[in-house]
Amino acid sequence: MPADGPGEQVLAGSVPLTREFFDRPGHEVAPDLLGRVIVHGPVSVRLTEVEAYGTPGEDPASHTYRGRTPRNAVMFGPPGHLYVYFTYGMHYCANIVCLPEGVGSGVLLRAGEVVAGAEVARARRTAGASRTVTARDLARGPARLAVALGFTRQDDGLDVCPPGPVNVLRGDPPGEGEIRSGPRTGVSSARETPWRFWVDGDSTVSPYRAHVPRRR
DNA sequence: CATTTGATGTACT
DNA sequence: GTACATCAAATGG
């Protein structure tokens, strides 16, 4: 396979993260994911924004808060797997499961910069619509990122560690001083928990939106 | 730029 | 019935 862009150069020789990396609480894993590159087939995305979700009974904002359901079952499995869920009746979002089997914690992949396979990503993002998408917006937002990387319901449970079909590489880590944290986006409970992490000043970070109750 | 609204699966009250 | 880890199009300034 030929090199596909500048990102491929950066990644040459990079060692994928192994399962131990994810066998920690999500809020410890999350900042360490910034600047890493998630690879799924032809598309690679450098992560610039993530959110941690806590354990059952502890974090009311987590899908696992009230226990296991068919949708969130993968979150209760071993670390280092994808949890892909369907939301708002039309969007997919992707997490990486953290902590050991039976616990149920993860990190939502909120935004990133497409560093390889931009043409494939753009084709996915514009499929069936007469619309253009800038490089900046290809993976800016959790549902957009899932489309760019080709994640759907079928990818729920995929192994993110070698020799799985998805890997996370070293990439270009931000300095400590470039990492910011704050409240999670669009979350109505646990607003005080600063488990959203992003790369300060990166244009691919999604706009922060506080939760707003909808009127009807 | 900002605000509003429609799209509608899944989990829950 | 309501809320939701969202997005894109339409509308107003």
- State residue A32's pLDDT score: 97
Domain annotation covers residue A204: no
Closest nucleotide (C1' vs CA) to A108 is C5
Per-residue pLDDT of chain A (216 residues; tens, 9 = 90+): 444 444 455 576 689 999 999 999 999 999 999 999 999 999 999 999 999 999 999 999 999 999 999 999 999 999 999 999 999 999 999 999 999 999 999 999 999 999 999 999 999 999 988 889 999 999 999 999 999 999 999 999 999 999 999 999 998 889 889 999 999 998 878 888 999 999 999 999 999 888 776 655
In the three-class reduction of DSSP (H, G, I as helix; E, B as strand; rest coil), residue A180 is classed as strand
Residue A209 domain flag: no
In a domain, A21, yes or no: yes
CATH at residue A64:
3.10.300.10
Tell me how far apart the alpha carbons of residues A153 and A64 are, in angstroms, rounded to a whole number.
18
Q: Where are the alpha helices (DSSP H) in chain A?
A: 6-11, 19-22, 26-33, 118-126, 142-148
Does residue A214 belong to any structural domain of this protein? no
Strand B contacts (Cβ < 7 A) comprise A 66-67, 69-72, 86-90, 214-215
Kindly report which amino acid residue has its CA closest to the C1' atom of nucleotide B12.
A66
pLDDT for the residue numbered A191: 84
CA dist list (Å): A47 to A189, A208, A211, A215? 25, 16, 23, 33
A205 in a domain, yes or no? no
Amino acid A144 CA to nucleotide B8 C1' distance, rounded Å: 18
Q: Which of residues 87-126 of A touch strand C (CB under 7 A)?
A: 87-88, 90-91, 93, 95, 106, 108, 125
Q: How many Å apart are A1 CA and B3 C1'? A: 46
> In this structure, is residue A208 part of a structural domain?
no
Q: Does residue A63 approach strand C to less than 7 Å at its CB?
A: yes
pLDDT of residue A186: 86
Please indicate, yes or no, if residue A211 is contained in any of the structural domains.
Answer: no
pLDDT of residue A214: 61
Provide the β-strand partners of residue A113: A46
> What was the pLDDT predicted at A67?
94
Query: What pLDDT is recorded for position A12?
Result: 66
CA of A90 to C1' of B5 (A): 16
- Domain range for A134 is 6-199
Instruction: Note whether residue A206 is domain-resident.
Output: no
Number of separate domains in chain A? 1
Q: Is the CB of A71 under 7 A from strand C?
A: no
> What's the pLDDT at A129?
86
